[in-house]
Structure 1
Amino acid sequence: SLRFLQPTNHMRLLQKLWILTMVLFTCSMSAQYTGVINSNRPGFSESPYSVGSGVYQLETSIFHRKIDRLPTFSRPELTGVDFLFRTSFFMEKLELNLNFGYQRGQIAFQNIFNSSYDKAGLRNLTVAAKYLVYEQEYDDKSKEVRSWKRRHSFDWKRLIPSVAAYAGVNTGIGDPIFDLYGNRGFSPKVGVLLQNDLTNELNVVTNIYYDRITTSAPELSYIITATYSLDERWSTFFENQTISNKFQVESNIGSGIAYLWNRNLQLNSSFRLVADGRAQGFYASFGASYRLDRHADEFEEVDEFGNPIEEDEFNDNKKKGFFGRIFGKITGLFGKKKKKANAPVVLKDKTLESIKNNTNIEEKTINNDTLQKTVEKKPIRTRPKRVRVKPGKYKKTKSSKKKKGGMFGGLFGGKSKKDKEADKKKKEEEKIKKMSQKEIDRELRKLEKEQKKLERQQKKDAAKKKKEEEKKKKEEEKKKKDNEKKDDNDG
Structure 2
Amino acid sequence: MIKKLLILFVFCSILTTNAQYTPVINSNKPGFSESPYSVGSGVYQFETSIFYRKMNATPTFSNPEALGLNLFFRTSFISEKLEVNFNTSLQRDKIAFKNIFESSYNKTGLSQFSLGAKYLIYAPKYDDKSKEIRSWKKRHSFDWKRWIPHIGVSAGINIGSFLTDYHERGGFSPKVGILLQNEFSDKLNVITNLHYDYIGTDFSQLSYIVTGTYNFNDYWSGFAEIQGIFEEYEKKTNIGAGAAYLFSENLQFNASLRANLQQDEIGIYSSLGVSYRLNRHKDDFVEIDEFGNKIEEEKPVKYDENRNFFGRMFSKVGKLFSKKEKRKVDLDNDSGNGELLNEKPKRERQGSLVDMIVKEDKKQKKKTAKEERKAAKKAKKKAEKEARRKEKERLKLEKQIKKEEEKEAKRKEKERLKLEKEIKKLEEEIKKEEQQEKEKEKEKEDN
- What TM-score do the two structures reach when normalised by structure 1? 0.55
Post-superposition CA distance 1:432-476 (Å, at most 9, x none) = xxxxxxxxxxxxxxxxxxxxxxxxxxxxxxxxxxxxxxxxxxxxx
Counterpart AA for 1:48:
P
Aligned-partner SS, 1:125: strand
Q: CA offset at residue 70 of structure 1?
A: 1.5
Post-superposition CA distance 1:254-282 (Å, at most 9, x none) = 00000000000000000000012232200
| Matching residue of 1:270 | 256
| Matching residue of 2:227 | 241
* Aligned equivalents of 2:162, 2:220: Cα separation in 1: 36
Which of residues 160, 180, 187 is equivalent to 2:173? 187
| Matching residue of 2:216 | 230
* Aligned equivalents of 2:249, 2:276: Cα separation in 1: 9
Q: Are 2:151 and 1:152 aligned?
A: no
Whichever structure has more strand as a proportion of its residues is 2
* Aligned equivalents of 1:32, 1:72: Cα separation in 2: 46
Work out the percentage of aligned pairs sharing the same amino acid. 56
Which of residues 114, 117, 139 is equivalent to 2:127? 139
1:110-129 equivalences in 2 (<5 Å): 110-129=98-117
CA contact (8 A) 2:151 2:180 kept: yes
**Higher gyration radius (CA):** 1
Post-superposition CA distance 1:409-439 (Å, at most 9, x none) = xxxxxxxxxxxxxxxxxxxxxxxxxxxxxxx
Q: CA offset at residue 144 of structure 1?
A: 1.2
Q: CA offset at residue 173 of structure 1?
A: 4.1
CA contact (8 A) 1:124 1:174 kept: no
* Aligned equivalents of 2:295, 2:139: Cα separation in 1: 37
Unaligned runs of 5+ in 2: 1-16, 298-447
Aligned-partner SS, 2:186: coil
* Aligned equivalents of 2:44, 2:94: Cα separation in 1: 34
Post-superposition CA distance 1:14-53 (Å, at most 9, x none) = xxxxxxxxxxxxxxx9630000100001100000110000
Change (3 A) 1:147 1:307: closer
Post-superposition CA distance 1:106-138 (Å, at most 9, x none) = 111122332111100012211000000000111
Aligned-partner SS, 1:178: helix
Q: CA offset at residue 247 of structure 1?
A: 1.2
Q: CA offset at residue 73 of structure 1?
A: 1.1
Which of residues 49, 59, 64 is equivalent to 1:61? 49
1:38-117 equivalences in 2 (<5 Å): 38-117=26-105
Counterpart AA for 1:141:
K
CA contact (8 A) 1:123 1:173 kept: no
CA contact (8 A) 2:36 2:180 kept: yes
Q: CA offset at residue 183 of structure 1?
A: 2.1
Q: CA offset at residue 184 of structure 1?
A: 2.8
Unaligned runs of 5+ in 1: 1-28, 310-491
Aligned-partner SS, 2:112: coil
Counterpart AA for 1:271:
L
Counterpart AA for 2:28:
N
| Matching residue of 2:25 | 37
CA contact (8 A) 2:203 2:232 kept: yes
Aligned-partner SS, 2:165: helix
Aligned-partner SS, 1:149: helix
1:389-428 equivalences in 2 (<5 Å): none
Post-superposition CA distance 1:195-239 (Å, at most 9, x none) = 000111000000000111110131000000000000011000000
* Aligned equivalents of 1:308, 1:215: Cα separation in 2: 51
List, as ranges, runs of 4+ consecutive aligned residues in structure 1 with deviation greater than 6 Å.
302-309
Counterpart AA for 1:144:
E
Change (3 A) 1:302 1:44: closer
* Aligned equivalents of 1:173, 1:79: Cα separation in 2: 21
* Aligned equivalents of 1:155, 1:286: Cα separation in 2: 36
Counterpart AA for 2:157:
V
Q: Are 2:185 and 1:199 aligned?
A: yes
CA contact (8 A) 1:272 1:283 kept: yes
Counterpart AA for 2:262:
D
CA contact (8 A) 2:110 2:164 kept: no
Which of residues 279, 285, 296 is equivalent to 1:293? 279
- What TM-score do the two structures reach when normalised by structure 2? 0.60
* Aligned equivalents of 2:290, 2:186: Cα separation in 1: 37
CA contact (8 A) 1:124 1:173 kept: no
1:363-378 equivalences in 2 (<5 Å): none
RMSD of aligned residue pairs (Cα, Å): 1.9
The count of aligned residue pairs is 279
| Matching residue of 2:200 | 214
| Matching residue of 1:468 | none
CA contact (8 A) 2:259 2:269 kept: yes
Aligned-partner SS, 1:49: coil
* Aligned equivalents of 2:272, 2:143: Cα separation in 1: 36
Post-superposition CA distance 1:46-71 (Å, at most 9, x none) = 00110000000000100000011122
